[in-house]
Amino acid sequence: MTASFECRTASPLPVEQLFDRARSIDIHLESQRSAGERAVGGVTTGLIGEGREVTWRARHLGIPLTMTSRITAFDYPRSFTDEQVKGPFKAFRHVHEFAPTATGSLMVDRVEFTAPLGVLGRAVERLFLARYLERLIVRRGRFLAAAAKRL
């Protein structure tokens, strides 16, 4: 069974700048510093683009994880999608959408994932993992939306 959620983040940044912050490996690493996240393969610095992959290593929930994601769709500056090609989930898809607003821009994150643990995985997805991932995406969105650092 697949779990999903959506997060909406308003930002004073122009849509192009928010889009680039969302695909920046360096800014992602800053936003995930508490998990000790590192980019260890593929695109490890700068901006990632269509068809490109990055392999991440991090510790989430006390568990060391490695995950490789590929950008499977890219429409600058409106949207891009990253999907797990190797890693801890049975499936993981993250759609990032961006729209200009009167005061800056809006970023919408749509995440769908399937835990790898069968029937037990469904309970873990709903009761725990979805909430954890949603909090992580909300924090990341707030970090990206801040106007503190330009690319």
Domain that holds residue 128: 3-145
Q: What is the pLDDT of residue 148?
A: 60
Q: Tokens 């568990």 belong to which residue?
A: 63
Q: How distant is the alpha carbon of residue 115 from its chain centre?
A: 17
- Which of 124-142 are b and which e, b meaning 16 or more Cβ less than 10 Å from the residue's Cβ? bbeeebbeebbebbeebbe
pLDDT value, residue 140: 94
How many domains are contained in the chain? 1
* pLDDT attached to residue 95: 98
State residue 123's pLDDT score: 63
Residue 35's pLDDT is 82
Predicted local distance difference test score (pLDDT) of residue 59? 86
For the segment 10-24, the average pLDDT, to the nearest whole number, is 96
pLDDT at 101 (0 to 100) = 97
How confident is the model over 22-74, as pLDDT tens digits? 999 999 999 988 888 999 999 999 999 999 999 999 988 788 899 999 999 99
Q: Is pLDDT at 78 greater than 70 in this prediction?
A: yes
Per-residue pLDDT tens digits for 79-111: 999 999 999 999 999 999 999 999 999 999 999
CATH number for the domain spanning 71: value is: 3.30.530.20
Whether residue 151 is contained in a domain is answered as no
- Residue 126 predicted with pLDDT over 80: no
pLDDT above 60 (res 149) = no
| Residue 60 confidence (pLDDT) | 82
Judged by average pLDDT, the poorest of 15-29, 73-87, 115-129 is 115-129
